[in-house]
Structure 1
């Protein structure tokens, strides 16, 4: 299995068990080694008292994208630290697209940047996640 096939297989294995992302209506658009793209539409249950997208939902979309990007190497990987900067509001009905890219990966640690934009390209948030690999793999061991 090449790197792209491994990344896709890892994403499929994670997606099958990811009730949180699916429950929020997220869509897994694409995945490749160190990269992922997810999308989510802001629904009535996701807006706050200012009638804009609650930041927690935007963070969750970015965090899910981070998870799929850093789990493309068949090593179980979790978040060690994350931060988000909100730039513009998301609004009811907006389709948000989160694009994640690996910036650095060495040993058990990685750094990933996720940009969350509206469908029209307007950037609404920038997220940086630091990952840490843990024990285990996402895919069953290959028989040789």
Structure 2
């Protein structure tokens, strides 16, 4: 995989205040693929003192957006789901890695694996996107 960041992903991240607030770092990217990470902070926790599920979901959703748009066709989420498999705590570093299952003309399907710093699976995410037919300008 390429250490150079896809220009579409770079532009998307620069225009994405929420991913910036989460501290998303793009580790690798290729067309249809990306690997991103965040470090869990105190303000990302819920009333039980563990990482809010919405943060893990949002990390996976950002990975989906970056990977699906990296082909340069504007792609929008149609449906997403997630299964949480392990608790996430303050200080944990999460990595979301995409797998492109289908790259169709109008529909794309992706699986996103979210692991912690010990490479333990903390969530599995699946997303379907609609390809609008419009192209990104970089």
How many equivalent residue pairs?
A: 135
Q: 2:46 aligns with which of 33, 45, 48?
A: 48
* Contact 1:13-1:138 within 8 A present in 2 as well: no
Deviation at 1:126, TM superposition (A): 0.1
Q: Which runs of 5+ in 2 are unaligned?
A: none
Moved more, 23-32 or 75-84: 23-32
TM-score with structure 2 length normalisation?
0.92
Runs of 4+, deviation exceeding 4 Å: none
Q: What is residue 58 of structure 2 aligned with on the other side?
A: 60
SS at match of 2:130: strand
CA root-mean-square deviation? 1.4
Find the residue that maps to 1:136 and give its secondary structure.
Answer: strand
TM-score, normalised to structure 1, is 0.89
Maintained 8 Å contact 2:106/2:133? no
Which protein shows a greater Rg?
1
Corresponding residue of 2:31: 33
Query: Which structure: greater strand fraction?
Result: 2
Q: Secondary structure at the match of 1:134?
A: strand
Q: Which runs of 5+ in 1 are unaligned?
A: none
